[in-house]
Amino acid sequence: MKIAVAGTGYVGLVTGVCLAEQGHSVTCVDVDKRKIALMEAGISPIYEKDLEQLMARNMNRLNFTLDYKEAYRDADVIFIGVGTPEKKDGSANLSHVYSVALQIANSIEKDCVVVVKSTVPIGTNDKIEGMIRNNLAQEVNVYVASNPEFLAQGTAVRDTLYPSRIVIGVEEEVAGDILSRVYKDFDAPIVVTNRKSAEMIKYASNDFLALKISFINEIANLCEIIGADIEDVALGMGFDSRIGNKFLNAGIGYGGSCFPKDTKALHWLANFHDNELKTIKAAIDVNENQKLKLIKKARKYFDSFRGINVAVLGLTFKPGTDDLREAPTLVNIPIMLEDGCNLKAWDPVGVDNFREIYPDKVTYCNTIEETIKDADICFIFTEWDEVKNFDLSKYSELMETPIVLDGRNCYDLNSAKKAKMIYDSIGRETINSLEASLV
């Protein structure tokens, strides 16, 4: 089928490339000339595993353009995959979605299905349908469908090609039939429902996972107080099939483009209808507090960061991506810098993005060894494999004082006991294997 995709971020570009992989002819539309030039050269503007290889393999079925009129004019299906960033009040900013809807209305010359892939508040598809039908330049039939994405950054290609489920929200049978044809070669259960239910499935799924993360983090904080081990607790919980073992890794909170935005948006929507979601509000509050967990731990060792040499390992909100949105580093590093520390940082892919925020106050390093050399304290914010596989003995060899605060529980406690270091993680025993306590 002839498909157009509006937006070439994580959702739009991954969707377009994966649909081309399934044999469709896909045109990806964006307003950024630089991004279009990169993609035409076979270069992905976002860091995502396997995406460039898939682009290269399907360049004969992929087209990248700034010309939305030509892209939408005779498309069978148009996917909207533009961003819906968070407003200051927590609601979703839908200006990009509505702008694309008007462009579609002014451009299409044949019957088509418009598919909203972006995460939007419940009822948005109805508004988009009205907007498009009321502004059509040609007498054509337009059907609007909700088709939320369930991809995770770092595994977006795999999640799209081999989804856990495909959710299709439609009001007319013809739209459901066309989308079923789009996904006919995907091996996944298909849930067909109405549009509002499909919109809610996306929010409810993301917010439930956020709840799970905040719950295990609160349990981890209590484990530290009473002397339990959160990893053993999570292991024991995870064997229960009703609970499962995913999203039970304690840490310093969730970040990224989805969970923070989607929890706030659903909470805002509920409040707008005078129906507060208390569990979602609690998940948001717990997560905001959890981001500062390592700073609070650091106060046990230093009253102030002034003049302290600080090492930071990991800048992105999770491994496998260069995305900094809602990353804990964006909360913690400003506090340390304002206190007057000397800060060195390492990340295998996120440095360039972080340098745009802090071009001169942070020393960026190419290796972990370079980062921790002569440091008084080390913070681990992202569980990159390079960090998890790092030789613990090097902390004591290279650091001035080997104090390691681990926000992602990267190391085995028994290994930490064998190294000469203070190792303070989340929900577990603090290890002090130095000859003399520094506390």
- What pairs with residue 346 in β-bridges? 313
Helical pair 278-290 and 195-226, crossing angle rounded to 10 deg: 50
Which residue type occupies 268? W
Mark residue 409 as left, alpha or beta (left: phi above 0; alpha: psi -120 to 50; beta: remaining). Answer: left
Q: Go through 243-257 and write b for each residue having 16 or more CB atoms within 10 A of its CB, e for each that does not.
A: eeeebbbbbbbbbbb
Distances (CA, A) of 130 to 5, 26, 79, 142: 20, 26, 17, 10
Question: Strand order of the sheet with strand 77-80?
Answer: 62-65, 25-29, 2-6, 77-80, 112-116, 142-146, 166-169, 190-193
Q: Is 190 helix (H, G, I), strand (E, B) or coil?
A: strand
Listed in sequence order, the residues at least 6 apart from 74 whose beta carbon sits closer than 8 Å to its beta carbon are 2, 109, 110
Q: Is 258 a catalytic residue?
A: yes
CB 311 within 8 A of CB 394: no
- Six token digits for residue 172: 């007319």
Which residue of the set 258, 365, 378, 410 is catalytic?
A: 258
Indicate if the alpha-carbon torsion angle 351, 352, 358, 363 is positive or negative. Answer: positive
Residues forming the active site: 258
